[in-house]
Structure 1
Amino acid sequence: MWHYRVGVAATGCGRRLIASYISSPSSSPLLGSRVGDLIDETAEKFPDRDAFVSTYENARIKYGKLKTEVDDFAAGLLAVGLKPGDRVGIWGPNSFHWYVVLKSGRFSFSFIFFFFNRLYAEWFVLSSVLLVLNADFVNNFALAKAGLISVNVNPAYQTRELEHCVKAVEIRGIIAAPGFKTLDYFAMLSEIVPRTNLDFVVMMGSTSVESKLGYLTMSEVEAKGHNDAAKERLEKIAKRIHFDDPVNIQFTSGTTGLPKGAVLSHHNIVNNAFFLGKRIGYGEKHHKICLPVPLYHCFGCVAGTIASVLHSAALAAVEAEKCTSLYGTPTMFIDMLDRPNFSKYDLTSLETGAMAGSPCPEPLVREVRHRMHMKNFSIFFGMTETSPVTCQSFPTDSEEIRATTVGFPSEHVELMVKDLEGNVVERGIPGELFVRGYVTFLGYWKNPQKTSEIMAGQKWLRTGDLVVIHESGYEFCKGKLAHFKIPRYILLTDVLPTTTSGKIQKFKLREEAIVRLNLSMPKTH
């Protein structure tokens, strides 16, 4: 038996809408900043304030020191031969190095981290949960500052997947941890280097083994950037970076075939981060944010696969550092609430946070608000190609609204719903969600065919999500969009096609659904 899973949207504006269209006005203009500008501005304003705390590594760094390390590493990357526009992969579990690389490239892959800087919530607390799944935090910013394009590589990639990633976006250099769980990154890289165009491999370790094989260590790269000539070159390059330049490539989940490299600009990421922070209230006071999510992903949807025992570390980090905000997927919050020793942790410092990745049931909303004290947390919704967030709930929204909707469109963002023939539907009629605004990505790397399939004309981006917009009766004037993250049309079936690693092949489900339901592909206009 097949079923449609349809989301619900509401418009409580006191008037009837003919078309399923929502736009979100703003009292704030779009920003014309580059990612590197944010770390420079924050370091100047708060040089002695903690920027980053890693409870797993027992490390913390202040903004003044962070800027110095970022600049050294960024200058060093240019000194070893990388050029602006080159793609550089970051591969490894969450760590302090992720943060430095991110900053040195004047890029912030993960909006979660840099927008707190821009909105003066300048303290990042990373629990060991956060540090178990992602590549280096420092590296990404270094890449952006040097005009390089960071490529976030899933730390769980096997050799074949890594090679596909390197070849697909023509990665010229890669910054890698020694390994992750049972994976030996050093051995895997040594295998694929002869078959690819990788010219530079930088290992996060500090041993001499890598250097003997022609690889560099991070300390060696930093040393090459620690001189006036290298810094002067970095500053000249940084001044030429435009906010519309590409700064990051993130691979999609591959639900429609092999993963594609979605290209995001400084403008995409900086503004998405700014308006997320504005709505959640980060500009109103200083916040400390605990981030138990993988850094290689826009929000960390895959973080639900982390062994549940690690979530005790997130709770411990919140208590120890008095965090005011906590991020996670519904599965992660469920696991934290289910810890046998949950009651021993003092979480009263928490006020807000964010939940995304899948629908959040109302009982969980109540538990998070009351047992974890996150009264004002937000629900986020979006996709890689939209930078990533397009909708977000308000701190004042009811528990029911947070559980049944994904919130109001982000500021400066438009939403529209069309039927399979490409016509805008009336309210109450299901259709596919389209998005337009600053959030839309630059395209898939050197894949104009796939880019044209998702960009539907007049700068609208088709999401593939099935939704409904209707009048809600709510007393506030907000559109509400509920969403179930599934492939384009569907579905429930008794047998799920899977890959050899056990992942559900959503693109095959979608193809089968089109045949069984006698559906036609929507037009692209």
Structure 2
Amino acid sequence: MSDWGDRDDRDNRGGRGHWGPWGPWDTIPELVRWSAERYADTEAVVEGRARITYAELGARVERAAAACLASGTRRGDRVAVWAPNSLDWIVSALGAVTAGAALVPLNTRFKGTEAADVLRRSGARLLFVTGTFLGTSYVASLRRAAGEGQPEAPAGGGGRGGPLPGLPELEQVVVLSEDAPPDFRTWKDFLAGGEGMSAAEVLARSGQLDGGDVSDIIYTSGTTGRPKGAVITHTQTLRAYEIWADLAGLRATDRYLIINPFFHTFGYKAGVIACLMRGATMIPQPVFNVETALANIAAERVSVLPGPPTLHQSLLDHPSRNAHDLSALRLVVTGAAVVPLRLVERLRGELGVDTVLTAYGLSEASGIVTMCRRGDDPSVIASTSGRAIPGTEVRLVDASGTPVPTGTPGEVLVRGFNVMRGYYEDAAATAEAVSPDGWLGTGDVGVLDELGNLRITDRIKDMFIVGGFNAYPAEIEQLLGLHPDVREVAVIGVPDPRLGEVAKAYVVRRPGSPLTADDLIAWSRREMANYKVPRLVEFVQELPRNASGKVVKGDLRRRE
């Protein structure tokens, strides 16, 4: 167990005269209302020319919640958001949660088939979707995957039916723009539908919630390649990110550039939720672009910038960096298996960043397991992911489940309030991931030092990270296996100077197939999120296998 750590920012938060274990709120709707009162005149969100205060944000969330109620949203319903970082994402997501729903964020890199799969498996009844993003019509993509050509939902199938035959549980799709197909609704029309709902009705619905209700279901693909939804409650979310904000030292005067995508636990919770707790100003950036980030940091006097090491390296190395005033930056939080000491030193020395911290987490543990503390030596920050957060335990075990000595590699296990309730409607996967006495197996290999600092050294689950996005070989293999000319395939991560790691596919073609590497890569770009697409394809006569028939990926890695 670890203790609270630094508490010097308590006076910055205000309150109602008393504090529970992690704040004067038990649910996210209570947090939204509290922040609207406590920080009423403080800028809450800056998006281009739009600047809204916390009071205005609270009013918008209440209006969105009223529209959700009017549309039939019930306590415990799943409501999905498939959109980039934006004010509309924040309002629609918090509105749905205020109406009693469990939020299901969808990865903006998903193709239509991938999004439809998560919508189907979560049983989402309402979807908020962006119109066009990065040149892609998400509406058209979804309609192709779950609309035209799909069989009609059978009678009595559990849902009342909606605009997409392939998704019978999905009753409504709201497009976050001014235009929408006839069978979908525009954001403006959706909000107008809630005008008949009173504030008392919204308050009554959110008042039915308690800390044990589900706040969100984050779908994360495991080594089986099948997406699984980590179920997290209001209490877990609030407690975890009160701790995160406290350890990071987030302040009411901070201006936070949120580049980490909201569909990730960290982007949403260490971003939106933590800012609501402290009254910091949110500046959402839909996609990482170095020039845009530099311009935002300078123009908005950004003081907080979490992100993967590659993001900060890109800022430091950009040729026009010195043309921008970055002097307001004071807090950087990053994390990866390896964070170069030189990066920490450059952030502090060249940019004058007072606090650089590293952390480690996964969706199944509310997004946070360990974190460095302010005042830690730069070598600790660069070489480890810090110590277990308060209220949790971390231990390392060997293949038999026996704890290993300090300094010895082992699988990272975590136990505490942050461990998910389970995978949504997947008892078998839950039982495999979480032991009867509450230990979550992360699948990561790490080493603990004598002070309890964790260093991640490997990934049992073969996961690799592409430009900050977790990529899972089994999932990519499953998708590549759908190509008619692919007989067998194995995927590994290989080093890449720009993205850190990328996928390489070893492919056994069907006899007589003329399939080329370029053909398969082009097909992959149409069928899967870009970060999953193999950058390299090597055709082989057969895959290396052991006596039991399992592919020996160690042999493939040794080739590299």
Q: TM-score range with shorter-chain normalisation?
A: 0.7 to 0.9
Residue-by-residue CA offset, 1:380-400 (whole Å, 9 max, x unaligned): 211011110111111211221
Report deviation, 1:300.
5.4
Structure-2 change in CA distance of 1:38 and 1:356 (3 Å): same
* Corresponding position of 2:248: 280
Q: What letter corresponds to residue 205 of structure 1 in structure 2?
A: S
Distance 1:415 1:389 in 2: 12
1:481 matches 2:454 = yes
Report deviation, 1:412.
1.1
- Given candidates 16, 40, 44, the residue that maps to 2:33 is 40
1:95 matches 2:86 = yes
Distance 2:397 2:139 in 1: 48
Distance 1:490 1:286 in 2: 38
Q: Is the 8 A contact 2:259 2:286 kept in 1?
A: no
Report deviation, 1:206.
1.5
Report deviation, 1:164.
0.8
Report deviation, 1:176.
0.6
Report deviation, 1:181.
1.7
Distance 1:493 1:289 in 2: 32
* Corresponding position of 2:212: 244
Distance 2:248 2:441 in 1: 26
* Corresponding position of 2:55: 64
Q: Is the 8 A contact 1:156 1:180 kept in 2?
A: no
* Corresponding position of 1:200: 172
1:190 matches 2:143 = yes
Q: Is the 8 A contact 1:79 1:230 kept in 2?
A: no
* Corresponding position of 1:158: 111
* Corresponding position of 1:466: 445
Residue-by-residue CA offset, 1:481-513 (whole Å, 9 max, x unaligned): 1114633479988894479457389xx999645
Q: Is the 8 A contact 1:382 1:389 kept in 2?
A: yes
Report deviation, 1:469.
2.3
Report deviation, 1:91.
0.8
Q: Is the 8 A contact 2:371 2:385 kept in 1?
A: yes
* Corresponding position of 2:406: 427
1:50 matches 2:80 = no
* Corresponding position of 1:295: 262
Structure-2 change in CA distance of 1:95 and 1:344 (3 Å): same
Distance 1:309 1:392 in 2: 24
Report deviation, 1:337.
1.3
Report deviation, 1:233.
2.0
Q: What letter corresponds to residue 264 of structure 1 in structure 2?
A: I
* Corresponding position of 2:532: 503
Aligned to 1:278, the other structure's residue is in SS state helix
Q: Is the 8 A contact 1:92 1:179 kept in 2?
A: no
Q: What letter corresponds to residue 144 of structure 1 in structure 2?
A: V
> Which 5+ residue runs of structure 2 have no aligned equivalent?
6-19, 147-163, 269-284, 465-491, 495-502, 507-520, 526-530, 535-543
Report deviation, 1:516.
7.4
Structure-2 change in CA distance of 1:509 and 1:68 (3 Å): farther
> Which 5+ residue runs of structure 1 have no aligned equivalent?
1-22, 101-138, 472-477, 518-525
Structure-2 change in CA distance of 1:362 and 1:93 (3 Å): same
User: Which range moves more in the overlay, 178-187 or 91-100?
Assistant: 178-187
* Corresponding position of 2:17: none
Q: What letter corresponds to residue 408 of structure 1 in structure 2?
A: R
1:170 matches 2:123 = yes
* Corresponding position of 1:148: 101
1:439 matches 2:392 = no
Distance 1:415 1:199 in 2: 42
Distance 1:493 1:176 in 2: 31
Structure-2 change in CA distance of 1:509 and 1:78 (3 Å): farther
Distance 1:194 1:350 in 2: 49
Report deviation, 1:364.
0.9
- Given candidates 295, 314, 333, the residue that maps to 1:354 is 333
Report deviation, 1:317.
1.2
How do 1:19-34 and structure 2 match up within 5 A?
Answer: 23-26=1-4, 29-30=21-22, 33-34=26-27
How many matched pairs? 438
Distance 2:258 2:383 in 1: 25
Structure-2 change in CA distance of 1:214 and 1:309 (3 Å): closer
Report deviation, 1:356.
2.3
Report deviation, 1:307.
11
Distance 2:337 2:396 in 1: 20
Aligned to 1:260, the other structure's residue is in SS state strand
User: Once superposed, what is the RMSD of the aligned Cα atoms?
Assistant: 2.9
Q: Is the 8 A contact 2:259 2:287 kept in 1?
A: no
Aligned to 2:456, the other structure's residue is in SS state coil
* Corresponding position of 2:68: 77
Q: Is the 8 A contact 2:301 2:328 kept in 1?
A: yes
Distance 1:309 1:218 in 2: 25
Structure-2 change in CA distance of 1:360 and 1:243 (3 Å): same
Residue-by-residue CA offset, 1:119-171 (whole Å, 9 max, x unaligned): xxxxxxxxxxxxxxxxxxxx111111000111111112112111111111111
Q: What letter corresponds to residue 254 of structure 2 in structure 1?
A: H
Normalised TM-score (structure 2): 0.73
Distance 1:267 1:140 in 2: 17
Aligned to 1:219, the other structure's residue is in SS state helix
Aligned to 1:388, the other structure's residue is in SS state coil
Distance 2:95 2:457 in 1: 36
- Given candidates 222, 226, 240, the residue that maps to 1:258 is 226
- Given candidates 394, 397, 400, the residue that maps to 2:376 is 397
* Corresponding position of 1:409: 388
Structure-2 change in CA distance of 1:512 and 1:395 (3 Å): farther
Distance 2:298 2:458 in 1: 33
* Corresponding position of 2:349: 370
Residue-by-residue CA offset, 1:320-379 (whole Å, 9 max, x unaligned): 121221111111111111211001111111111211244211111111122222221211
Report deviation, 1:248.
0.8
Report deviation, 1:309.
7.8
Distance 1:189 1:428 in 2: 49
Distance 2:201 2:286 in 1: 44
* Corresponding position of 2:471: none
Q: Is the 8 A contact 2:86 2:286 kept in 1?
A: no
Q: What letter corresponds to residue 61 of structure 1 in structure 2?
A: I
Report deviation, 1:280.
1.2
Distance 1:186 1:409 in 2: 42
* Corresponding position of 1:129: none
Aligned to 2:294, the other structure's residue is in SS state helix
Q: Is the 8 A contact 2:174 2:186 kept in 1?
A: yes
1:217 matches 2:209 = no
Q: What letter corresponds to residue 393 of structure 1 in structure 2?
A: C
Larger Rg: 2
Q: What letter corresponds to residue 142 of structure 2 in structure 1?
A: L
Report deviation, 1:25.
2.7
Q: Is the 8 A contact 1:290 1:318 kept in 2?
A: yes
User: Which range moves more in the overlay, 372-381 or 437-446?
Assistant: 372-381
Aligned to 2:444, the other structure's residue is in SS state strand
Distance 1:81 1:38 in 2: 24
